[in-house]
Structure formats: structure tokens, C-alpha cells
Structure 1
């Protein structure tokens, strides 16, 4: 179990509280306190870019470690589910059964999003994972959308706008809405893509709490656009990115706040922490 003392002994950076009116407050590590687990209504993890099968990388070892790390998170503080946010395998569909078997070792429910290196037809993807490229689910007062950002050849594309609009309307009465999509819809980075129509939809969605991305292996922080918050989670594998392989934790608190922090599991430490207060 992760105690408050354990957490405070971890190295932190970029601790930010996003307040009403999109005001930002930064805190030193000493000013941050891990919420009591009893005050956490929902807790999930995000990891992306495993690139299972990429030549000249330690993809097998990387996945084995990540599965163990996420299972450890589940044991010590609990995880309702995890999301593997794209580039599950690397180009060749022959690796899909093997990586599916690997992720099935997680001890919690998990979902996957389709990435640009997941070069397989949607019907085969759905047959393997049980969900299509676009998928919605809900839990309590929260709803979740998984959006697709690449075609079968790996070309970057914007998600299906009609489907997305329909789901945003469908879940507009939910208190919390979270979106998972492999590629960011704003070209903040070399590897982003501009989807202005989607960004406008997000901007108008009052209950949208956060959007989560993979793809940019070097990114492990948060970016803001029109008052909405877009998070990145570094990478599981691949041949480039942050010096560490890590994952992101998200906690929905009973206060309505959303706490998120990035974890460097090799050192067992969060490296980014952000709290999004409830604006509803």
C-alpha cells in the first residue's frame, strides 16, 4: 500500500492546481499531499507506445515491467481500469496475439486505443480487443471516450466527427467526461495534427475534464487549449523518448477535483502532478 509518507518521499516536479477561471497555482513538493484513498471515487492509469515487436528494442522486457508496475499500482492503491493509449504493437499484425496475451496479465480491466503503428484493419482490431476504434463507456458519474487518430496505413487522421459529436451530446449530463486519443488534435509538437473542429467541440463541452494522449514519447506533461487540459504519458517502449519509461495516474476525488501525476516506476516516483478542481 502506498502511504502518505511514501508519496512525500518521492521526487515531484510540475505540481499544478488548475483553478476556476483557468488560473494556475504551482506548489513545491512539500506543499503537496496525497489525498486519503477513501476520498478517491475513481482511479485509473494510462500508458502508451509499447511498440511491441519493434526491431532492436527491448519490447518484451518493457512490456513485462509495465504489466508488473501497473499490477503493483493496483495492489497498493487500487486501479479501476487502465488504458493502453495507442501504438500497442509496431507495424506488423503478427505481434497482435502476443501483445494481447501480455496485456491480459493485468489484474484490472483495461482498454486500448488504436495508434498509427497499429496497422491492422478495424474488424481484426475489434475481434482481438472486443471494441472498435471508437468506443465509449461509463462508470458512475463519469463517461469515457476512446477516439481513433490513424487509418490502417498509419496515416494521421482526425477522429470520426459525427460519432464524436453524438457521444459528446449523449454524455453531456454526466458530471465528468474524459477522452483518450493517441495523437493530440493540436500541433503543439512535431508529431501532432491539427483538428480544429474537434478542438472546438472539446472547448464547448462543459463537463470535459481532461484529454489524454500518447504518441509523443518525449512528452510527459500537460498542455492547455481554450481552458481544456491535454495530458501526455511518455512511453512504454520504442526507440526514442523520455529517459524513463512511465505511466500516468488519474484520480477522481469526491470533492470533484481530478488529480493526475506522471510516474517514473523504475524509481517509484511521480514526476508530474496536476489537480483539476471541479467547475460544475
Structure 2
């Protein structure tokens, strides 16, 4: 007796998912995604009078769901991991380890830990970089152990950007934006001019300003804000930003509200 088709298929081993195709805004054909990552910031683990454990559980659930449904190569948490108390860092790391994707972090002004503690906790310094295939990711420190606002180290940034000069694109992460276009931004003219003068810098991602989820432009370079996923102030929703890089080296970026499901502030970049 022959099995019905459905019954037969149920006996087959699981087939790996095909490479994901995504419809880019304004285009009539699908494009293949080469790299997809998420940027979230300002969880403020341990902040008094906030439901910070739920905030973090929600982020972990959202990112793990994205991994299953659409694919995520890594998550970047762009500063203010904890809220002032250095002893919270271990609990934050333990909590975030429930992610099913690799993750990287930057130091924010509320991450009041010393350089040695940061290094021993994460295995890399507050200024660091990493590469994924044809793309590089540069992380600049914008604070210190006292929680002061500081411009990122321009000399270090210059060296790192030059190191990745042959990459198709560089994406930069800074907790505090280096331009005074938000209430909580700081003016770092040398830094923003350095980005503007580096052709393969594709975008700069900022946290810190919980009430900002938009795109700002300096010259040809976009600066993206992702609101917040924790803390006690900011946008009315808690969310994150998604970046999708395609095999033709074009890319797309959008802000996402996982509770109401709208895609916000979409930006399309060229290769």
C-alpha cells in the first residue's frame, strides 16, 4: 500500500531552510540576504523601579524568534547594559546568555565599570572591532568609569578604519552620538568628519537617547537611533533596529516595534 503524500513527507528528515530572500523596498524582485543583524540599546539592567527582568526577557524572546523566523547573525547591544552598579554586570551577562545568537556589547555612561573588569567580563576592551565576511564593525567607547560623556578616541578610530579599508563596508557603534543634534548628544567634530571622509563607512549606530528612533544625516553618512528596550523613559514602545545586507552589497535598515509589528523609519543604502 502506498502512503499518502503528506504521510510520506512527514517521514523524511528535516530539510535545511533555503537561503532567505527578502523584498527590498521599491524593487520588483527579491534579493538574497548575506548578513542580518539587530541593534538594541539601553536595557538598564537593575534600574530601580523598573521591570528590567521582563524587559530583558522580552528582548531575548524577540531576538530568538527573529533567529528562527528570519535569521539573525548577531545582536549588538549598544550601551547602558546595566544601571550604575558595577556588580550588576555578572547578572546581566548571565541573563543575556539565554540568547540563541552571538552578541557583542559597547560601554554606555551607566556601565560604570573599569577597563579591567570590562576586559575580563567580555574578552575585549571597550574600544574594539570585529569582522564578518566582507564587512567590519567598529565599536568606540563614549564614556568612562565615572559615567562621563566623552568623545570616542579619534586616533584609535582612524587606525581601525584604515585597517578595514579593503572591506566592502564598515558599520560603527557608539553609545553616545557624536553630534549635538539631540539633547543628550555631544559635539565630536573630528570624529564625524573622520566618518565623512572614510568612503566605506556605511552607517553609525547610536543609543543613549531613548526618545530617538529615527535617522539623522551628516553629509553622506546616516546615523541611526534605536530607542530603548529598557529604562524608565523614552519612546512609547520598546524595540530594536534591524540591518539587512544583500549579496549585491546594498543594504536596508529599519526600526521595529515587536509588540505592534510595524516597521518604522526604513532606510536603504547602496553598495
Normalising by structure 2, report the TM-score. Answer: 0.89
Larger Rg: 2
SS in 2 for 1:202: helix
Offset, 1:171: 0.7
Is the counterpart of residue 91 in structure 1 residue 72 in structure 2? Answer: no
| Partner Cα distance (1:248, 1:230) in 2 | 12
Q: 1:167 aligns with which of 133, 155, 160?
A: 160
Matches within 5 A, 1:142-157: 142-157=135-150
Q: 1:76-115 CA deviation, whole Å, 9 max, x = no partner?
A: 1101101000000000012111110111111011000000
Is the counterpart of residue 223 in structure 1 residue 197 in structure 2? Answer: no
1:51: which partner in 2? 44
| Partner Cα distance (2:89, 2:160) in 1 | 28
Offset, 1:167: 0.5
| Partner Cα distance (1:93, 1:264) in 2 | 30
2:252: which partner in 1? 259
| Partner Cα distance (1:246, 1:74) in 2 | 16
| Partner Cα distance (1:33, 1:123) in 2 | 48
Q: Give the number of aligned pairs.
A: 252
2:6: which partner in 1? none
1:104: which partner in 2? 97
| Partner Cα distance (2:259, 2:28) in 1 | 20
| Partner Cα distance (1:137, 1:229) in 2 | 21
| Partner Cα distance (1:177, 1:140) in 2 | 11
2:118: which partner in 1? 125
1:211: which partner in 2? 204
| Partner Cα distance (2:60, 2:26) in 1 | 28
Q: 1:62-81 CA deviation, whole Å, 9 max, x = no partner?
A: 00001100111111110110
1:182: which partner in 2? 175
Offset, 1:34: 10
Gap regions ≥5 residues in structure 2? 1-16
SS in 1 for 2:87: helix
| Partner Cα distance (2:250, 2:213) in 1 | 21
Offset, 1:173: 1.2
| Partner Cα distance (1:45, 1:33) in 2 | 23
Work out which structure has the larger RCO, using CA pairs closer than 8 Å and 6 or more positions apart in sequence. Answer: 1
| Partner Cα distance (1:34, 1:249) in 2 | 21
Normalising by structure 1, report the TM-score. Answer: 0.86
Gap regions ≥5 residues in structure 1? 9-16, 18-30
Offset, 1:272: 2.0
